[in-house]
Structure 1
Amino acid sequence: MIAGVILAGGLSRRMGGGDKCLLPLGGRPILGHVIDRLRPQVDLLGLNANGDAARFADFGLPVFPDSIEGYAGPLAGVLAGMDWAAGQGADHIVTAAADTPFFPTDYVIALRTARVADESPLAMAMTPGEGDRLDRHPTFGLWPVDLRDDLRQALEGGLRKVVAWTEPHGCARAIFHDRSTDPFFNINTPDDLAKAGEMLDAEGA
């Protein structure tokens, strides 16, 4: 069983603070678009967010905060998701950032396929960059919940960088080719929000 975890625990500094996932895109919150993308791909769905959970009540999702204090980055959200999913009987989670509304509808199956083919415990989404470079998308990955105690220990020891934890364990690369637009485009600034509106219009054209 795979649980989907939407990561909304960041500080949104470049957007001026607050919950950027609640900003309107195409007449409804960004988070609504993310939920619509991820829900059909997973067995259950939850939201990692810090602060008052009541502000997300309209979405009908379980909300759980980071268990590591001090805004320790996306890995803290991954750990919170692992702990929640383990209590639900799931053996893996897939994560998606709450500010990235256009990720692929075949995202989860691509991660699973890459993990099995590579015989790795973890998988991360990647897209082709310039030349032979691959661009990592570290908030988009497949994570086994039985590694949660290992991750907890690493975070308590001060580790914050996602790839510094994933690479030693073995992390498959799920490469998303031939997309007309960046499927992992994320909204960090007001200009990004305007561009996302244009992308949404083009998607619906």
Structure 2
Amino acid sequence: MNAIASLAKTSALAIVTGRRIDDIDRFLSPLELPVAGVHGLERRSADGVIHGVPINEEALKDVSEQLSQFVIRNPGLILEPKRGSIALHFRQRPDLADECVAQVATSTAPYPDLHVLPGKMVLEVKAGSASKGAAIRAFMQEAPFAGKQPFFVGDDVTDEEAFPIVRQSGGVTVRIGEGATAAMYRASGPEELSEWLTALAQTFPKPEA
């Protein structure tokens, strides 16, 4: 948190996440940053404007109802509703990983416009064509990001499609944790990344008072 606050004072900073914008605002309060939430389905630009994409509400509602029944039958699973998506978490029931994959595949089969995003012990069903990579492209066309070198850090499977997009723009990419990655660099964990970012922020010129 201290590293993020320090960088926000000296550079153009945005959050790109699978979480909702409201969740990020609560976590970072009182800091309020540009945010792309729910894998880009909702995006708040630096001027405070909220951008969204069309979603298939009926399809998402049907899949949500099916997965809700699946969760009821399998204690320990968690179904998280978001704007334009639902996430099935099985961190507390890793033994049900295969069953979760099968159930999500069955529930989403009738709806080709729904996209399944596998993550760390979670399967997210997303309605809409947005992505983290597309959100980064959108930010890079707007002030205060336009013309700057992007620097993107991620720790999940869903960040992998964004790494090449950032590199194509001449940017720097960092993967947190283990696993195959398209990122240029790797940090062993959040603590190492925080130390690195804090040190990096101290090298930037301080804004004029």
TM-score, normalised by the number of residues in structure 1: 0.29
TM-score, normalised by the number of residues in structure 2: 0.28
Q: Which protein has the larger Cα radius of gyration, Structure 1 or Structure 2? A: 2
Q: Which of the pair has the greater relative contact order for Cα pairs under 8 Å at 6+ separation?
A: 1
